[in-house]
Amino acid sequence: MTPRVLVSDQLSPTAVQIFKDRGVEVDYLPDLGKDKDALLAVIDRYDGLAIRSATKVTEKLIAAATKLKVIGRAGIGVDNVDIPAASRKGIIVMNTPFGNSITTAEHAIALMFAVARQLPAADVSTQAGKWEKNRFMGVEITGKVLGIIGCGNIGAIVATRGVGLKMKVIAFDPFLSADRAAHLGIEKVELETLFQRADFITLHTPMTDKTKGIIDARAIAQMKDGVRIINCARGGLVVEKDLAEAIRSGKVAGAGVDVFETEPAKESPLFGLENVVCTPHLGASTEEAQENVALQVAEQMSDYLISGAVQNALNMPSISAEEAPLLTPFVKLAEILGSFVGQVTEDPIKAVEIVYDGAPGAMNTRALTSAALAGLLKPLMQSVNMVSAPLMAKERGIIVSEVRRDKSGVFDGYIKLTVTTEKFSRSVAGTSFSDGKPRFIQIKDINMEAEIGRHMLYTTNHDEPGVIGELGTVCSKNNINIANFHLGRNAKGGDAIAMIYLDEPVDDAVMAEIRGLKKIGQAKLLSFDV
């Protein structure tokens, strides 16, 4: 039966033709996405739904979509799609994460020029016949320090443009390697150093718990007087009221803002301030970018509906139906091992080695490695998935290697993941038993067998009496229940670790108290999707 796709938002005619040329029946109804009741009434007729941002794919809509197999978003953001609901229904959600990278990077550069030379205000003044030549004294770009927060795909393009403009480019990105920075011709720095040195700061990092509000009053206080700030990434990265106050005080000389904490932005503390250039989320708004993402989503959806090929899926690993029963438990294991290392490692990662011993070595290790990298990168890049993780690692200069070998231990098969940073190497190994549940079997070369819990407190210490007692005292005092725990050490009086299972996550104050215990080395609260 011929698959049928609904296009409910504006999409290029060329993209619509791609569906037809690939043998997919397509209904192009670009205004239907704005009418949720009308869309709800017809959605059960379609195998695929192609959208932009106007269509809201809610849990209610997904429940009514009895035939739907794939949702394709022409663009990056999928805030308008209930991905958990789609996953539960077995619907693949795809996006086109790289189709508008150049466009967004160019918009950031354009805003930098506009702020540096006060172009919008000068235009309004001149067209009003005022000729206020002395009022609009700008600054040169050449020779200035450009600080880039987030040097992934878009940030790297901005970096090369900045180098071409003869700027001194510095970047903060936990996943940017020294080799990658050298290749781009830029300097990798810590965030505080970037704040202290940059004349212009531009943000190109995803929104995560760690990056939300990354520019606030505290951060601005560390910056140079007269700094100029550009944000074409996500509105919540910048605390608008803090930036507005800094502009009014003169600490910040200007800002270019394309994204806002609340959108559509009908009001903002930044509106009306002198030398603040605001645009209505235009980062991806060029003819080329809109065409690129439209063509890509049509190709991806057609490939899936006709041949089953999956590209840029946000909620599905690339696993065939034949290998799924054996592979799926090890995919989960690989993701958890990566997540463990990603949560306990704060230094930039240079290399990742994954050893597949025994049974996993005979499997689709490409899928397993993608799962491990997705888990590793997710603590800082929440939108990363099995499809995008290998590319994200490559862009950040992380060297990834696989080793397959025959069974060498007591387990039928296991996976060992080792990351290398500038300062150390850290490893974790795990296996999956017949029950399909993943388990840790070694951490930092210390043998231990531990199931994976949703909330786990991981600590390191020198092996000596009283450590667990102190941890238990802190938890008891704060009414925190310990469900279980596992201990391990490499030798009597040597290095030791503990994995403590908690019913609920603990707050920052309790974690600070735990880290303050004299006998505790590292202490991390870990969360796993189990």
- The catalytic residue positions are 234, 263, 281
Cβ–Cβ < 8 Å for 344, 527: no
In angstroms, rounded to a whole number, what is the distance separating the alpha carbons of residues 474 and 232?
44
Task: Give me the residue label for tokens 């990742």.
Answer: 352
Which three-class secondary structure string do you get for 227-246?
A: EEEEECCCHHHECHHHHHHH
With tokens 């019913």, the residue in question is 503
DSSP reduced 3-state for 155: helix
The dihedral sign for the CA sequence 221, 223, 226, 231: negative
489: CB partners within 8 A, 6+ apart: 446, 463, 495, 496, 497
Q: How many CA atoms lie within 13 A of 162 on its CB side?
A: 31
Residue 181 one-letter amino acid = A
Q: How far apart are CA 59 and CA 393, in angstroms?
A: 33
Q: 3-class DSSP state for residue 451?
A: strand
Question: Are 20 and 26 in contact, with CB atoms under 8 Å apart?
Answer: yes
Order of strands, edge to edge, in the sheet holding 399-405? 399-405, 349-358, 413-421, 425-432, 438-443, 446-451
Classified as helix, coil or strand, 402 is: strand
Q: Rounded distance, CA 204 to CA 232, Å?
A: 7
Radius of gyration for the chain, computed over Cα atoms and rounded to the nearest angstrom: 26
E strands, 162-281, are 168-172, 187-188, 200-203, 227-231, 252-257, 276-278
* 3 state SS of 392: helix
Provide the token pair at 108: 């950031």
CA torsion sign for 378, 384, 390, 395 is negative
Q: Taking a C-beta distance cutoff of 8 angstroms, is the pair 419, 432 a contact?
A: no
The angle subtended at Cα 387 by Cα 385 and Cα 392, nearest 5°, is 75
Judging by DSSP bridges, how do beta strands 349-358 and 399-405 pair with one another? Answer: parallel
Region at 392 (left for phi over 0; alpha for psi -120 to 50; beta for the rest): alpha
Output the six-digit token pair for 444: 């930092």
Spell out the SS3 assignment of 98-129. CCCHHHHHHHHHHHHHHHHHCHHHHHHHHHCC
Q: Which residues are CB-neighbours of 110 under 8 A, at least 6 positions away?
A: none
CA 477 to CA 20: how far, in whole Å? 66
